[in-house]
Structure 1
């Protein structure tokens, strides 16, 4: 299991377009990906839009990413990139 704490840099936090890009990115990997606020025990699946939105993460807040599986490191790198990329530069594939 691999874990990483990341500060959210998107202006809207993890809502709307950034949340959509985050969830779609998570779905691309062969790994069990989970997300939580860094200061909370509430954990959601990173590929669940409802779960991700339920955390109500705002700009500047820290989140914990946890990954387990063959693509764990690659998935964490990609998800961290989504969280730290200015919103105007995000593209959903």
Structure 2
């Protein structure tokens, strides 16, 4: 199992546009990536409604998890995305 714990970089957190950008990237990996918030709730990272339901804000820590082959590179890429400003 591969996992990355990162801090959200977007000023608005994972809301609206940043969540859309992230979920599209997660879906594009073709892997079963999960996103876990600081309370331990885990959702499908490719589902915009699920990601929005977490209410993740700027500065919150989240964990990306994937058991599939190729997970290391995918999680590295998704982590960099989440740590950057996606709302511009």
Please give the TM-score of this superposition, normalised by the length of structure 2. Answer: 0.92
Cα deviations by residue, 1:17-64 (Å, 9 ceiling, x for unpaired): 110010000011132100011x32211000000100000000001001
Structure 2 residues without counterparts, runs of 5 or longer: none
Please state how far the C-alpha of 1:88 moved relative to its aligned partner. 4.6
Aligned length: 88
Structure 1 residues without counterparts, runs of 5 or longer: none
Please state how far the C-alpha of 1:9 moved relative to its aligned partner. 0.6
Over the aligned positions, Cα root-mean-square deviation in angstroms equals: 1.3
Please give the TM-score of this superposition, normalised by the length of structure 1. Answer: 0.87
Aligned to 1:22: 22
Misfit runs of 4+, over 4 Å: none
